[in-house]
Structure formats: C-alpha cells, structure tokens
A = this chain, B = another copy of it.
C-alpha cells in the first residue's frame, strides 16, 4: 500500500505503451461480458472503495485540504453512481436494441431484417479533475460510465492528488481483477506528457475531461486533429447565474441571501456549478445581509497554489472594472481563503462583459443589480453556454418569468427553480452539460445515467443468422431487456 512519503513518478513512454496495448487487448473481452456481468464488476469496485474509505479519505484530506465530512460524502456519491450504473446495465434499455424484421411491404421498398444496438467505443482516456478527488477523479463519473459501457479506462491522474490517485487506482484495479475483469480493463497514468501522448494514440477511442477552459480546449483540439478524430467530452467552465425576481425578493429575501452565500462558498467555491452571479432587483436592500452571511463563513484552504493564484488574479480583475465595488475582500493568505463578494449593475456587466463574464474559480461571486425586466433579459442574453441557470421566483410571476426561462433554456443544460445549482444529484434525469464553454459536446452529459452514451456507438446487423447475432438482438430475448421491435417497445421474443 502507498505510504504517505511515496514519490510518484510520471508514467514513462514504455509504461504507457504497455498500458495502451493492454487496454486494447481488453476491449473485446470486456465488451463481450453480459451487461449483468459488468454490473457485478461495478458493484465490486464500489464495495472495495467503501471498504477502503478509512484509508482513502485521510489521503484525500491531506492532498486536497478538503474536510472529512465532505470527502466521505463525496466517496459515498462515487460508489452510489457505480452501483446506479450497475442497475442501468441490468435494466438494459441503454443498449437501445432495435429489431426491424424483414418487411416486403415497407414504404420505400422491401426492407431486409435489420437489428441495431449500441456497443462500446473502445478504450477511453479519462482526465481526472482536482476539485472532486473522488467523484470526478480516478473512480469518478466518467470512469463509471465508460466501464459500464464496456470500454476499458485509462485515467490520467490529476497532479493535485497523486497519492490518492495511485491508491484509488490500486483499489479499483484489484476489485476488477477479483471480479474477473479482463487484464487491461483499467489503469492510472501520471504526468502531463503522458496525458498528451495517450490522447494521440490510435488505440484510444474517446476522451473525457473535467477542468479548465484552456486545458479542455487544448485537449479537444488534439482529439479533433488526430488523423482519426475521436469524440472528446470536456466539461469546462460555467458561471451559473441566478436570477431573483421582485416577488421572490419580497417573499424570501433573507433566505435567498443566506442560501446564496452558502452555495457560492460550498467546497471553497471550487464547484463547476458555483453560482458566479446573483441578479437582484435594484434597491433590494440585501447587501448587509449577504455581507454578513459571507463574513460568517470560515476561511478554508483552496485545493492548490495554482487555484489560489487564479483566485487572487480573478478577484483583482473583477475589482479593477470601473463600476464594480468589493463588498467583502477575502484575499487568499497562502492557500487559506475567506470568501469574497463583489457588486455591480447590469449596464456595467454588459459594458465589461469580457472581464465580468469570465469564470473565477474559488469562493467569489458577483451581485448584479437590475433596474427592470428588460435589463434582466439583456443580461441573461449576454451569457454563453452554462451548466446551469437558476430563477428564484414566485409562481404568481409565471408570465413575467417565462421570457427569462426561454432565454436561459438556450444557454444552460439545467434550469433550476428556487434552488441552488451546487449539489448535483446523480439520477436518471440529471443533465450536467451545456453549450460551449460549459462543455465541448453539448449533446452529452457527464453526470447521470445517460452519461453512458458517450462511450457507446451503434452497430446494425443486416440479415444476420441468429447464431452470429449478439444475444441482445436474437429472436429469443435472452437478456430479458426492453427492445423496440418495429419501433414498438417490448420484452417479448420476436416471432420468427
């Protein structure tokens, strides 16, 4: 097991070659496991991680500076989603099995027997994030989705928590070996150059990433410029604006103020769903309440020095804009940072959109006063793609709010009502995505059960004999899964 003083070397090109060759070897046997067999593997990984919690959590605390309760909760989320994908595999709809029996009377001319299902894309390269050392890292959502799909996974560890990455990787790898997974199903690699070399390798069939806009963009361009371009699913930057209506202000101003302060400082403001802007009606009178709530939050260490530096720079950038005032200045002292609060108006926001609509990672947020509904719509329209957008309103204002929701739907992957965007639930209906720059692939999600699709591709079989078909597509419904036969959903066998 890893000792606290273990030095972790970068993966060498020779080691990487072995990892890639092994992943390529594993691809077909892993794909050929029945969905229920892969579900058992995922549960085995979840059980092993839960069992290792007392070893993993202290490592995570040490490397990420995040508190124990948060990290235990995050690990629980991580193992929950592995098990949830197990359920998805057993239910079987994810295979999208379609069977079109031959039809001599088909409208465009006789139709041959056609059967379609999704199969794994092949080895996936997952870039771990720093801000969720469990849930978006070695055994995080992307790994769970890719393994569930049947794609071998190579994780490029984040430099922010190398020992945790190594140890988590050992736990996952051992659980997979114990469960009988093909050798090469899973590996962790280390180092920037290794991460770049792996993405260029033809054995890698998809990439996924959670992190910064410049980093994600560079990798996306690498993936797109390969001789054989591959899909690259990057979850990048998001501002997550929150719009408060006059009705909501009147009804629950204090509650909104405290909810806001708690949400933008959660995880020391290092969540991709941090509310970066709060739009309040002019004359809202909440400044003192918010300032007091923000001042009440204890300073806490950021993940690493680079983030601390970015936070200080960002704060400076915001404060330098004419028309922006700093209500709370929580400038970082080393890694330890108190939250900051800045304030402006919609006209200033629109005039300095370049500076003010750029994500600033860390516990800072911008209160923006709007004078009337038109100003609110103009501000909402200024946003590019976001993971979330939130309206705090009253149901009696539905008509007034409708145009705002319309504008926001074009700009966000998730629309919230009277909630806060942090605390992303892992469910069937969750969508964690959005247009650029929220993601590089707006039609996909990185959280929720439909995240599995990113690692699957369709294959059709035409007039194939029963014995040569995958089990999922034979007349007899051997897997007992829902299938669309002639576009009607059924779990029945197909009549020969």
Using a CB–CB distance below 8 Å, which chain A residues touch chain B?
28, 73, 76-77, 80-81, 83-84, 87-88, 91, 93, 96, 98-100, 106-109, 111-112, 114-116, 119, 121-122, 205, 220-221, 224-225, 227-231, 384-385, 395, 398, 401-402, 405-406, 409-410, 412-419, 425-431, 433, 435-437, 440-443, 445, 448-450, 453-454, 456-465, 467-468, 482, 484, 486-487, 489
Return A203 CB to nearest CB of chain B, in Å.
11
CB of A114 within 8 A of CB of B415, answer: no
CB of B76 within 8 A of CB of A108, answer: yes
Not counting A99-B429, A116-B450, A413-B457, a sample of 14 additional A-B residue pairs whose C-beta atoms are within 8 angstroms of each other reads: A84-B107, A106-B425, A116-B429, A116-B448, A121-B442, A227-B436, A228-B385, A231-B441, A395-B467, A401-B468, A431-B459, A431-B460, A450-B458, A482-B489
CA distance A304 to B114 in the complex (A): 34
A-B residue pairs, 3 tightest by C-beta: A431-B460, A98-B429, A116-B429
Q: How many copies of the shown chain assemble into the complex?
A: 2
CA distance A221 to B221 in the complex (A): 9
Residues of B within 8 A of A77 (CB): 108-109
CB of A433 within 8 A of CB of B415, answer: no
Given A80-B108, A435-B228, residue A419 in contact with residue B463 (CB < 8 A)? yes
CA distance A410 to B100 in the complex (A): 22
Return A462 CB to nearest CB of chain B, in Å.
4
Residues of B within 8 A of A87 (CB): 487
Report the nearest B residue to A390, measured CB to CB: B462
CA distance A489 to B482 in the complex (A): 10
- 30 of the cross-chain contacts (CB-CB < 8 Å) are A28-B410, A73-B109, A76-B108, A77-B109, A80-B108, A88-B487, A98-B428, A100-B430, A108-B426, A116-B428, A116-B448, A116-B450, A121-B442, A205-B435, A224-B225, A227-B436, A228-B436, A413-B457, A415-B462, A416-B462, A417-B461, A417-B463, A417-B464, A419-B462, A430-B460, A431-B458, A433-B457, A433-B458, A442-B457, A443-B453
- Label chain A's interface by main secondary structure: mixed
CB of B220 within 8 A of CB of A229, answer: yes
CB of A465 within 8 A of CB of B413, answer: no
Residues of B within 8 A of A402 (CB): 468
Report the nearest B residue to A414, measured CB to CB: B460
CA distance A44 to B173 in the complex (A): 57
Cross-chain contact of A106 among B116, B427, B454 (Cβ < 8 A): B427
Residues of B within 8 A of A449 (CB): 487
**Interface-central residue, A121, A428, A484, A489, by most chain B CB under 10 Å:** A428
Residues of B within 8 A of A410 (CB): 28, 122
Cross-chain contact of A457 among B224, B443, B459 (Cβ < 8 A): B443
Given A119-B409, A229-B220, A433-B458, residue A463 in contact with residue B428 (CB < 8 A)? no
CB of B431 within 8 A of CB of A229, answer: no
CA distance A395 to B466 in the complex (A): 9
Residues of B within 8 A of A431 (CB): 116, 458-460
Return A119 CB to nearest CB of chain B, in Å.
7
CA distance A401 to B73 in the complex (A): 50
CA distance A419 to B110 in the complex (A): 13
CB of A417 within 8 A of CB of B465, answer: yes
**Interface-central residue, A227, A229, A405, A449, by most chain B CB under 10 Å:** A229
CA distance A437 to B227 in the complex (A): 9
Return A302 CB to nearest CB of chain B, in Å.
25
Return A198 CB to nearest CB of chain B, in Å.
18
Cross-chain contact of A484 among B116, B428, B437, B463 (Cβ < 8 A): B428
CA distance A398 to B468 in the complex (A): 7
